[in-house]
Structure 1
Amino acid sequence: MTRAGKWYSGVVAAPGFIAIGSGPAGLSAAETFRDKHPHIPVRILSTDPALPYAKPPLSKEYLCGGHPNLDLHSAGWFARNRVDLVRGITVEHIDTANQHVVTAGGQIYPYWHLVIASGSVPVRLTIPGAETALSLRSFADAVALKMAVRYADSAVVIGGGLIGCEAAACLADRGIATTMVAAEAVPLQRRFGIEAGDRVAKILSDNGVRFHGNSAVTAIEDTRVLLDDGSAVDGDLVVAATGVRPDIRLAEGLNTRDGRIVVDEHMHTSVRNVYAAGDVALAVNVTAGRPVPAEHWRDAAHQGRVAGLTAAGYPAVWDIVPGFSCTIGDSVLKYRGWGAHYEHSRLVEHRNGFTVWYEAGGEIVGALTFNADEDYQRAERLLRSHAPLAS
């Protein structure tokens, strides 16, 4: 069999359920389908050579020097549950007409139901010396970074997002002189606004991280990071925390929007028997009443479960209110809401923390809290009821 002049070696497995990706969405989908159909072949195809693992601890406990159990399941679990985990394999093409996927090695895996859960890929730096910067997206990245920490006296974290804040605090906690460089005036500004960013900058400072805002990195030279104002920051270790983008290279023939695969509340794509979940999906959340991007672990796992149930023939919809936490040293920020878009924000100071309420169209669309768990719980009620914040 050929496609575009390339020889494919042939079918290597019986048809059944396939999840592309071993992250929370793909694993949850496969687990759920297997639970409902004990005898239909279930397969996970993953580019990652490691057993499925939890990613949130990589920039928290793991990098900070702890030894959390990252594995989501042992190899024995996959064997006992007859879930075929194929690691270190890249899917090159999905043939939706004939219902099979083709790998870079030419193997063909036929499917009855397919879940695309390929996650995200890092946004790469495009500056001289970028190849010397380390990233923090996979377990292999975390291992390399953790080893590099042993030999570093100073570090520069490029990017002021969630992962960058967590990683910077961990590096500083391990005795490394750490500077965070970002294009925004304050950390997390694009996502949460200037007032929240000011408070996060203070939290970073309290954890020993120097923040250098309104700066673009122009090059990395040896142990220096050069900035667009002509200055430089010393760093034996450079970490690129420059964000990610959904990996939708397999979305050919599927409806996409805003860089994601369009799915309904059941995780159906525009093609029969093909579903998408996690970072790659733009799914309808029935509680929000509109499409909402899933950007975090908990949401991806729930979408995967919905996809697995739907593929198995059971009723399921995505209806939870998305949320996540960010740990900077000993400080934990919690967010609950529908994503980045908002029209107005309102910061409320508390004795030992704060809440930022985000509004659009006359209703609450999100809340960021620090030491304000009552507001965090209240936010879910307001989000579910589409209510405004009372004065």
Structure 2
Amino acid sequence: MPGVVIVGASAAGLSAAEALREAGCDRPITLIGAEPHLPYDRPPLSKQVLLGQWDADRTVLRTCDQLAGLDLRLSTEAVALDPDSREITLVDGEHIGYEHLIIATGAQPRRLPGDGQEGVHYLRTLDDALALRDRLTAESRLVAIGAGFVGSEIAAAARAIGAHVTLIGQGPAPMSEVLGPVLGGLMARTHADHGVTLLMRAEVAALLPEGTRVGGVVLTDGRTVPADLVVVGIGSVPSSGWLTGSGLPVDSGVLCDRYGSAGPGVSAAGDVAAWYQPVLGSQVRIEHRTSATQQARCVAHNLLGGRTEPGIPYFWTDQYGLRLQVWGYPTGDAAFAVVEGDLEDRRFLAVYGRAGRVIGVAGMGLPRQFREARALIGTPMLTKKG
């Protein structure tokens, strides 16, 4: 009997399956994962796993016994979808029918041309993190290409190990595309204080080989940065190629309404999904762990007849013992104001605004105030303390 098929054994896919069971859904549930591993948590990969504080088993979200009620298919990929017949095709040629399909295939790293040399790494999967950890030492000369969240966290972890680290970014400061120039500048000073060499407003021209290994990074202005390890973190693309020809709306992700529906019998959640966000008036792909879980639980509830929307997005980054937390939808070009505390003390609460309304809140070192500041989203923008 066709039931619910979930493609993607990620945090989103797992959360959807568990939410369905918690709500009393007794239909068969098939959970399909491309990796050989049980569903695991990704945020620790660039922090606890890379630092050697956690082993691989600690990232696992559920044991085999806890997943016993699911038809779990690991090391398996979906390669095609026919929404008219409500059927997916697996890489081995098997066809699986569904009553409802949940797409949770996540995203994959954007590749850098000429990345086939030994010593060039990406960090998306558990195997990626373990491979990088095995090679990262205090003697390493590591270059992180891309100063977003992944590149910045890897730089911080590598410095904690003692490696020589260069962080390269096209923007004016680390994470400035999301955090803006003020908080980006604060993070730049934090990296510099911990010995990271920052090369901002820089663009990579090529990777310099040294035999079969990478030996450096060449910038478009002619500079060469020596390296024996390179980590590329220049963004991601949704893992939606298998949907080509299906007729499903796919642009910068699987396009969904505010409830996660992508069409009759099809929903999407997590990094692969671009949900309509009423606050922004557009469909946006939000690549954060908590949003993946929220969306997945909403999809499960709505599949059973509900009309639930996910809550306000929340994400965080841990670097150098500091935790920066964010509510909402900040962007680098939004208005910005500190409303409590002081940036240089690393204890502050700040708001982002657009069209006179708060669209995001950021905080560090003030956990109670940050929790309460969630209520500011959508209220009139404050322009100064007080």
Q: Same fold (TM over 0.5)?
A: yes
Partner of 2:314: 323
CA distance in 1, matches of 2:296, 2:185: 36
Partner of 2:235: 243
Residue 288 (structure 2) aligned to one of 296, 304, 311: 296
Equivalenced residues, count: 372
Instruction: Decide whether the 8 Å contact of 1:34 with 1:42 is kept in 2.
Output: no
Superposition map of 1:94-243 within 5 A:
94-127=81-114, 132-150=119-137, 152-221=139-208, 222=210, 223-243=215-235
Partner of 2:52: 65
Instruction: Decide whether the 8 Å contact of 2:258 with 2:309 is kept in 1.
Output: yes
Pair 276,375 (structure 1): closer, same or farther in 2 beyond 3 Å: same
CA distance in 2, matches of 1:40, 1:378: 39
Q: What's the CA shift for 1:319?
A: 3.6
Q: Deviations over 1:147-173 (max 9, x none)?
A: 111485211111100011111111111
Letter paired with 1:72: L
CA distance in 2, matches of 1:132, 1:237: 5
Pair 63,101 (structure 1): closer, same or farther in 2 beyond 3 Å: same
1:276 equivalent to 2:265? Answer no
Q: The residue matched to 1:298 in structure 2 has which SS?
A: helix
CA distance in 1, matches of 2:159, 2:132: 14
What is the aligned-residue RMSD (CA, Å)?
2.2
Pair 97,219 (structure 1): closer, same or farther in 2 beyond 3 Å: same
CA distance in 1, matches of 2:268, 2:334: 29
Partner of 1:337: 328
Q: Deviations over 1:251-275 (max 9, x none)?
A: 4312234x12222232111x21111
Instruction: Decide whether the 8 Å contact of 1:342 with 1:358 is kept in 2.
Output: no
Q: The residue matched to 1:335 in structure 2 has which SS?
A: strand
Instruction: Decide whether the 8 Å contact of 1:128 with 1:218 is kept in 2.
Output: no
Instruction: Decide whether the 8 Å contact of 1:173 with 1:208 is kept in 2.
Output: no
Q: What's the CA shift for 1:295?
A: 1.8
Partner of 1:360: 354
Instruction: Decide whether the 8 Å contact of 2:139 with 2:162 is kept in 1.
Output: no
Q: Deviations over 1:327-353 (max 9, x none)?
A: 112011111112537542234651443
1:382 equivalent to 2:376? Answer yes
Greater Cα offset, 369-378 or 293-302: 369-378
Q: The residue matched to 2:374 in structure 1 has which SS?
A: helix
Q: What's the CA shift for 1:375?
A: 4.5
Q: What's the CA shift for 1:367?
A: 2.0
Greater Cα offset, 317-326 or 243-252: 243-252
CA distance in 2, matches of 1:183, 1:288: 25
Partner of 2:257: 264
Instruction: Decide whether the 8 Å contact of 1:17 with 1:41 is kept in 2.
Output: yes
CA distance in 2, matches of 1:84, 1:386: 45
Letter paired with 1:78: L
Q: The residue matched to 1:193 in structure 2 has which SS?
A: helix
Instruction: Decide whether the 8 Å contact of 1:279 with 1:300 is kept in 2.
Output: yes
Q: The residue matched to 1:368 in structure 2 has which SS?
A: strand
Pair 362,38 (structure 1): closer, same or farther in 2 beyond 3 Å: closer
Partner of 2:67: 78
What is the TM-score normalised by the length of structure 1?
0.89
What is the TM-score normalised by the length of structure 2?
0.90
Letter paired with 2:360: G
Q: The residue matched to 2:102 in structure 1 has which SS?
A: strand
CA distance in 1, matches of 2:347, 2:300: 40
Instruction: Decide whether the 8 Å contact of 1:152 with 1:236 is kept in 2.
Output: no
Q: The residue matched to 1:85 in structure 2 has which SS?
A: strand
Letter paired with 2:352: Y
Partner of 1:4: none
**Aligned residues with identical type, % of pairs:** 28
Q: What's the CA shift for 1:288?
A: 6.8
Unaligned runs of 5+ in 2: none
CA distance in 2, matches of 1:288, 1:184: 23
Partner of 1:10: none
Letter paired with 1:111: Y
Letter paired with 1:265: R
Unaligned runs of 5+ in 1: 1-13
